[in-house]
A and B are shown apart, each in its own frame.
Chain A
Amino acid sequence: GQQLNQSPQSMFIQEGEDVSMNCTSSSIFNTWLWYKQDPGEGPVLLIALYKAGELTSNGRLTAQFGITRKDSFLNISASIPSDVGIYFCAGQRGGGADGLTFGKGTHLIIQP
């Protein structure tokens, strides 16, 4: 099935730094979602975006729905140790006939 192109694949950063990751697609999506997965757990929803151009924040997290509807980015400001994990973008086309399409994830590692 189709995959979203998520980058970077992994990030090694210092605590306190800002983080930026993005997803691109050759297809249009009507909804963009960002999830975080910790070891041994299922993905947890961080931010949902429903409208092109929409910019939404959730605490230190900010995500945007690209105006072309083919991309989205997630920023994390002032990273802390508990931000460690794998971040996934997910998109859904209209009607949801094929569920969510996920990116392959960005593995965030924070060095104290």
Chain B
Amino acid sequence: KAGVTQTPRYLIKTRGQQVTLSCSPISGHRSVSWYQQTPGQGLQFLFEYFSETQRNKGNFPGRFSGRQFSNSRSEMNVSTLELGDSALYLCASSLTTTASGANVLTFGAGSRLTVL
């Protein structure tokens, strides 16, 4: 079956702009999590969505937001971009929420954002 699909794979923005990234989970997976990966901070948890509701949230400013649709597809948005937002944004899906103990996250290839 198809894996986790993220679009776009690469994008370049300038400071102050906003960006929307998309994630299509594995068919049947209802939980989508987002992570930011940078060389300095590594992989950091952004948020998790399940059944169109945000279930968990990491320690990121309010400029980072997301949503999930009824078909489990998810989008994340970053407003007022800063240079430090340059990163690989990874989406991961799982059957249920991580809180249930089903921690087998399947990651997509990521969206690499460069902010100039």
A: contact size bracket: 20 to 34
B64 in contact (CB, < 8 A) = no
| Residues of B56-115 contacting chain A, CB below 8 A | 56, 58-59, 90, 92, 97-101, 103-110
In contact, B108 and A96 (Cβ under 8 angstroms): no
CB-CB nearest in chain B for A50: B101
Q: Kindly state the separation between the CA atoms of A1 and B58 in the bound complex, as whole angstroms.
A: 8
A77 sits at the interface (CB 8 A)? no
- CB contacts under 8 Å to A, within B18-64, are 33, 35, 42-45, 47-48, 56, 58-59
- Which of A44, A48, A90, A102 is the most central at the interface, judged by chain B CB atoms within 10 Å of its CB? A102
User: Chain B residues with Cβ under 8 A from A35's Cβ?
Assistant: 107
Contact between A42 and B99, CB atoms less than 8 A apart: no
A 29-55 to B, binary, CB cutoff 8 A, 1 in contact else 0? 011010100001111110010100000
User: Closest chain B residue to A40 by CB distance?
Assistant: B109
A59 interface hit (Cβ, 8 Å): no
Could you tell me the distance between the alpha carbons of A103 and B109 in the complex, rounded to whole angstroms?
19
- Contact across chains for B42 and A99 when beta carbons are under 8 A apart: no
A33 to B104 alpha-carbon distance, docked (Å) = 9
Please report the C-alpha to C-alpha distance between residue A48 and residue B105 in the assembled complex, in whole angstroms. Answer: 10
Contacts of A98 in B (CB 8 A): 45, 56, 58
> B44, A1: Cβ atoms under 8 Å?
yes
B103 near A31 with CB under 8 A, answer: yes
